[in-house]
Structure 1
Amino acid sequence: MNISVVIPLLNEQESLTELYNWIAKVMQSNSFSYEIIFIDDGSTDGSWDTITQLSQQDQQVKGIRFLKNFGKSQALHAGFEQAKGNVVITMDADLQDNPEEIPELYDLIDKDGYDLISGWKKKRYDSVIAKNLPSKLFNAAARSTSGVKLHDFNCGLKAYKNIVVKNIDVHGEMHRYIPVLAKNAGFNKIGEKVVLHQARKYGKTKFGMSRFINGFLDLVTIWFMSRFGKRPMHFFGLIGTLLFIVGFGFSLYLGIDKLFIETKGRLIAQRPEFYIALTAMILGTQFFLAGFLGEIILTSKRSKERYKISEKIHL
């Protein structure tokens, strides 16, 4: 199979039939063998009924339905697990991504040998304050911390080799930083393509202030995991050891001063150095234990079940 198109969605019923017809037209005109995997992330507007109807018309339409809204990252994870195409294309269901881009994205992966191609919405039709400015801040921060030089990390239109999606773990809210996850997994041939962006035709955007805040928190997580995820003791243990040494140094100073220098009879507990030493040693011990516990957790098997599926179609 040439292409798997993975489409996560939440309450996009109005756009699904139009999107399917558009994708099918592009696939058939280019003689691609394909599958379209819709992942309904807990929609309440009848999106699943539309997906069911489309699957009855076309066996290439497949569907996954979550019991409730678990998030875009979990939806992508479920779609990636089922994707069988040599090239996997992800796109949003709101008709803001253009399926006409698919043939060029496919060629960049299949013929030019890229591991991942990320879309760049150079000209956007979103609100400047609500979405454009936060996206620019996200992208600048992601470039500086990850070393992946992309203009638009958050573009939903991306193309991957199948082996890439099978070897990255998209969870939490990490879908924004899939190129960074791919790089951390060892896939270094990452490119970018300017793609058309269209104004939303139906419904309303799901973007909110919580996504703005969560995006930066996830970026910190990505940075930490890429540098210390395999050996947390290297981070926590180092800080803990340094703090403990500082605390022990103050304690040693207080002991020597009390035994051989101090003449005023002041109690050690009345001196500020005592509290600095106590705090530093306690914090140092806690950091060291955090690193030790992190190493233990890494040795245990992590549960992969982060969402519940109620129905599947053709899968």
Structure 2
Amino acid sequence: MNISVVIPLLNEEESLIELHDWIVTVMQSNRFLYEIIFIDDGSTDQSWNIISQLAEQNSSVKGIQFFKNFGKSQALHAGFKVAKGDVVITMDADLQDSPEEIPELYNLIKQEDYDLISGWKKKRFDNKFTKNLPSKLFNWAARKTSGVKLNDFNCGLKAYKNTVIKHIDVNGEMHRYIPVLAKNAGFVKIGEKVVAHQARKYGETKFGMDRFINGFLDLITIWFLSRFGKRPMYLFGGLGIVMFFIGFCFAIYLGIDKLFFNPYGRLITQRPQFFIALTTMILGTQFFVAGFLGEIILRTKKDSKRYLINEELNF
């Protein structure tokens, strides 16, 4: 199979038929073998009924319905798990991503041998102050922190080699950082393509300003995981040793000063250096224990289900 199109969605009943017809037209005109995987992330409208109808009419349409809203990352994870295409395309269901971009994205993966191509919505039709400016700040911070030189991490329109999506674990809210996850997994040939961005035709956006706050928090998380995720002792143990050493040095200083230079002065417990020494040694011990426990957790953790599937179509 040439292409798998993975589409996570939440309450997009107005756009699904039009999006399906548009994708099918592009696929047929380019003679691609394809599958369209809709992941209904707990919609409360008629989205699942429409997906069911499309699956009856077109055997290339597949559907996954979650019991409730688990988030875009979990929806992508479910889609990636079942995708069979040599090239996997992700896009949003709101018609702001154009299926006309699919052939060129496919060629960049197959002919130019990229591992991942990320879309760049260079000209946007979103509100300038609520989405554009925060997005630019977010993308700048992501570039500086991750070392992945992309202009638009948040673009939902991306193309991947099948091997990439099978070897990365998208969880939590990490869908924004799939290129970073891919890089950390060893897939370093990452490119970017300017793609068309269209104004939303139906409904309202499902994301508010809080997504940028969450995005920055996730950025810190992924930086930590990429640096210390496999060996937390390197961070916490290192901090623990440094802090314990500082406290120990203060304690030695107090002992020497009391024994040899000021035997009849204030008690050691009456000096502020005593509390500095005590506090830093306790904190150092706690940091070291935290690193030790982190190592144990990594070696004993078991995979747990992050979402529950209610129904599947055409699998």
Q: TM-score range by the shorter chain?
A: over 0.9
Q: What SS does the aligned partner of 1:14 have?
A: coil
Matched, 1:238 2:238: yes
Aligned to 2:92: 92
Q: Describe the shift of the 1:304–1:86 C-alpha distance in structure 2 as closer, same or farther (beyond 3 A).
A: farther
Matched, 1:42 2:78: no
Q: What SS does the aligned partner of 2:14 have?
A: helix
Aligned to 1:208: 208
Matched, 1:160 2:160: yes
**1:203 Cα deviation after fit:** 0.6
Aligned to 1:278: 278
Equivalence map 1:4-153=2 (5 Å): 4-153=4-153
TM-score norm. by structure 1 comes to 0.99
Letter in 2 for 1:199: A
Cα distance in 1 between the residues matched to 2:260 and 2:109: 74
Letter in 2 for 1:287: F
Aligned to 1:3: 3
Q: What SS does the aligned partner of 2:125 have?
A: coil
The more displaced of 151-160 and 131-140 is 131-140
**1:264 Cα deviation after fit:** 4.5
Whether the 8 Å CA contact 1:66–1:308 is kept in 2: the answer is: yes
Letter in 1 for 2:161: K
**1:268 Cα deviation after fit:** 1.5
**1:138 Cα deviation after fit:** 1.1
Cα distance in 2 between the residues matched to 1:270 and 1:9: 64
Cα distance in 2 between the residues matched to 1:131 and 1:4: 29
Q: Deviations over 1:149-204 (max 9, x none)?
A: 00000000000000000000000000001000000000000000000000000010
Cα distance in 2 between the residues matched to 1:214 and 1:264: 57
**1:65 Cα deviation after fit:** 0.5
**Identical amino acids, percent of aligned pairs:** 75
Cα distance in 1 between the residues matched to 2:172 and 2:158: 19
**1:276 Cα deviation after fit:** 0.7
**1:293 Cα deviation after fit:** 0.9
Letter in 1 for 2:7: I
Cα distance in 1 between the residues matched to 2:107 and 2:24: 18
Cα distance in 2 between the residues matched to 1:8 and 1:111: 27
Aligned to 1:288: 288
Letter in 2 for 1:127: N
Cα distance in 2 between the residues matched to 1:44 and 1:78: 19
Letter in 2 for 1:73: S
The CA RMSD over aligned residues, in Å, is 0.8
Q: What SS does the aligned partner of 1:230 have?
A: coil
Cα distance in 2 between the residues matched to 1:215 and 1:302: 26
Q: What SS does the aligned partner of 1:52 have?
A: helix
Q: What SS does the aligned partner of 1:13 have?
A: coil
TM-score norm. by structure 2 comes to 0.99
Alignment size in residue pairs: 315
The more displaced of 96-105 and 132-141 is 132-141
Matched, 1:257 2:264: no
Cα distance in 1 between the residues matched to 2:304 and 2:17: 32
Cα distance in 2 between the residues matched to 1:199 and 1:270: 68
The more displaced of 143-152 and 261-270 is 261-270
Whether the 8 Å CA contact 1:41–1:69 is kept in 2: the answer is: yes
Letter in 2 for 1:29: S
Letter in 2 for 1:310: N
Aligned to 1:171: 171
Aligned to 1:313: 313
Letter in 1 for 2:197: H
Matched, 1:198 2:198: yes
Letter in 2 for 1:215: G
Letter in 2 for 1:245: F
Letter in 1 for 2:63: G
Cα distance in 1 between the residues matched to 2:210 and 2:281: 37
**1:304 Cα deviation after fit:** 3.9
Letter in 1 for 2:148: V
Cα distance in 1 between the residues matched to 2:261 and 2:173: 58
Whether the 8 Å CA contact 1:131–1:207 is kept in 2: the answer is: no
Q: What SS does the aligned partner of 2:15 have?
A: helix
